[in-house]
């Protein structure tokens, strides 16, 4: 009798990408879920630098039928939006739980999708039904959910930092909120690209998608703030992984850094993956990389109410694969932290 025999199998489409590879790695350490690599037709071409997947993991050719026959409880789609749009419907109909890591089902309405992704959405019904997988704020709808849309990496770090302040009503929204976000290169996915080649990124730094990043609407949807109130800029850091966001706001009522930190301490008292740093400390990427933690630090100027909050996550873990496993745990009724600590 094995004590930790896996009771569930979870398939991974896109296991050759960075998020997909992290899913494999995390599930190999999961006490009750085992990964199955799903070969999708777009993966036909040989992989020039294969990531290290232990040879013992099962691989099967993807099809909804094969997924059912293999008895998979869930499938992760670590794929581009267009592939997710293609694969998700049949899986959902087949009763397999789907956790989609792409942006295909994050925005709720076809109009919003059209605006930010520049295409009409083929399945508005599924768009409306997808549960948005930010457990710290949507846990109730994620428990047992058949279809989960995993949040973007930038919105995860932004919402975990902003949302407690919005809920507490301490942000003077009329003064505007700035979110200055910086991400490692793995956020762009695993593919040949001149702009992500070593010599173009190393010893370099730049801003992109100023005021128009497609992750912005995810922040607005979760927080309820208006587009006009938020200025969001993304930057490309010359590192492999990690996202750090520096958020600026004007507070109502807050009198000190201690008051500001107390909001987080209270809101996240029961959250296993949120770490609130003491006054005087600020997040560093090295402290969160390779973990599912989100670290938050903050400073408030008592004289003027200017507030600065810094949040940090590993874009591939809490910003992608780790949060997806957290969502899988919720969907399957497993302990939420299983395989993640």
Q: Which residues participate in catalysis according to the annotation?
A: 153
DSSP at 41? G
Residue 191 found at the interface with a copy of itself (CB under 8 A): yes
Choose which of 95, 198, 269, 333 interacts with a copy of itself (CB under 8 A).
Answer: 198
Q: Burial of 301 by CB count in 10 Å (0-12 exposed, 13-18 middle, 19+ buried)?
A: middle
Smallest distance, Å, CB 156 to a copy of itself? Answer: 17
Residue 338 found at the interface with a copy of itself (CB under 8 A): no
**Residue 313, phi then psi, degrees to nearest 5:** -140, 165
Which 272-301 residues touch a copy of itself, going by CB under 8 A?
A: 282-287, 289-290, 297, 299, 301
Smallest distance, Å, CB 248 to a copy of itself? Answer: 5
Alpha carbon of 64 to those of 221, 230, 324, 332: distances in Å?
32, 41, 20, 19
Which 18-47 residues touch a copy of itself, going by CB under 8 A?
A: 18
Contact letters (x/-) for a copy of itself, 171-190, by CB under 8 A?
----xx-x-x-x--xx---x
According to DSSP, the residues that pair with 208 across neighbouring strands are: 234
Choose which of 36, 201, 274, 321 interacts with a copy of itself (CB under 8 A).
Answer: 201
Residue among 66 and 239 whose Cβ is closer to a copy of itself:
239
* Euclidean distance between CA atoms 161 and 172, whole angstroms: 15
Residue 48 found at the interface with a copy of itself (CB under 8 A): yes
Smallest distance, Å, CB 142 to a copy of itself? Answer: 26
Which 203-222 residues touch a copy of itself, going by CB under 8 A?
A: 203-208, 210-211
DSSP at 196? G
Biggest CA-to-CA distance, the chain: 65
* Euclidean distance between CA atoms 131 and 138, whole angstroms: 8
Residue among 129 and 233 whose Cβ is closer to a copy of itself:
233
Smallest distance, Å, CB 143 to a copy of itself? Answer: 27
Residues 6+ positions from 28 with CB-CB distance below 8 Å:
35, 54, 57
Q: Using DSSP, state whether 156 is helix, strand or coil.
A: helix
Smallest distance, Å, CB 70 to a copy of itself? Answer: 25
- Residue 211 near residue 232, CB atoms below 8 Å: yes
DSSP at 152? P
- Residue 142 near residue 331, CB atoms below 8 Å: yes
* Euclidean distance between CA atoms 96 and 71, whole angstroms: 9
Positions that interact with a copy of itself (CB under 8 A): 3, 18, 48-49, 52, 175-176, 178, 180, 182, 185-186, 190-208, 210-211, 227-228, 231, 233, 235, 237-242, 244, 246, 248, 250, 282-287, 289-290, 297, 299, 301, 303-304, 306, 308, 310
């Amino acid at each position: 009798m094995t004590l930790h025999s896996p009771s569930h199998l979870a398939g991974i489409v896109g296991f050759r990408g960075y998020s997909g590879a992290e899913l494999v790695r995390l599930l190999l350490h999961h006490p009750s879920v085992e990964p199955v690599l799903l070969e999708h037709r777009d993966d036909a071409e040989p992989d020039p630098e294969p990531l290290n997947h232990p040879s013992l993991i099962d691989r099967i050719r993807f099809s909804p039928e094969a997924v059912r026959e293999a008895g998979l409880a869930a499938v992760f789609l670590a794929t581009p939006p267009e592939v997710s749009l293609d694969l998700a419907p049949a899986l959902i109909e087949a009763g397999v739980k789907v956790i989609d890591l792409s942006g295909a089902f994050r925005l709720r309405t076809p109009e919003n999708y059209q605006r930010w992704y520049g295409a009409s959405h083929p399945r508005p019904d599924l768009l409306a039904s997808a549960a948005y997988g930010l457990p710290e704020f949507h846990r109730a709808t994620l428990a047992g959910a058949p279809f989960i849309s995993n949040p973007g990496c930038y919105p995860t770090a932004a919402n975990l930092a902003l949302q407690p302040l919005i809920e507490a009503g301490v942000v003077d929204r009329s003064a505007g909120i700035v979110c200055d976000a910086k991400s490692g290169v793995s956020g762009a996915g695993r593919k040949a690209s001149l702009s992500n080649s070593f010599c173009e990124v190393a010893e370099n730094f730049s801003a992109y998608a100023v005021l128009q990043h497609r992750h912005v609407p995810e922040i607005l949807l979760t927080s309820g703030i208006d587009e006009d109130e938020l200025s969001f800029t993304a930057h490309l850091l010359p590192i492999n992984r990690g996202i750090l966001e520096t958020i600026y706001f004007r507070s109502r009522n807050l009198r000190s850094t201690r008051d500001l930190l107390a909001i987080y301490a209270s809101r996240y008292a029961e959250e296993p993956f949120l770490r609130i740093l003491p006054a005087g400390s600020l997040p560093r990427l090295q402290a969160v990389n390779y973990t599912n933690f989100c670290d938050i630090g903050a400073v408030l100027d008592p004289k003027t109410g200017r507030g600065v909050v810094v949040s940090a996550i590993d874009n591939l873990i809490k910003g992608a694969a780790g949060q997806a496993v957290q969502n899988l745990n919720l969907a399957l009724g497993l302990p939420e932290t299983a395989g993640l600590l």
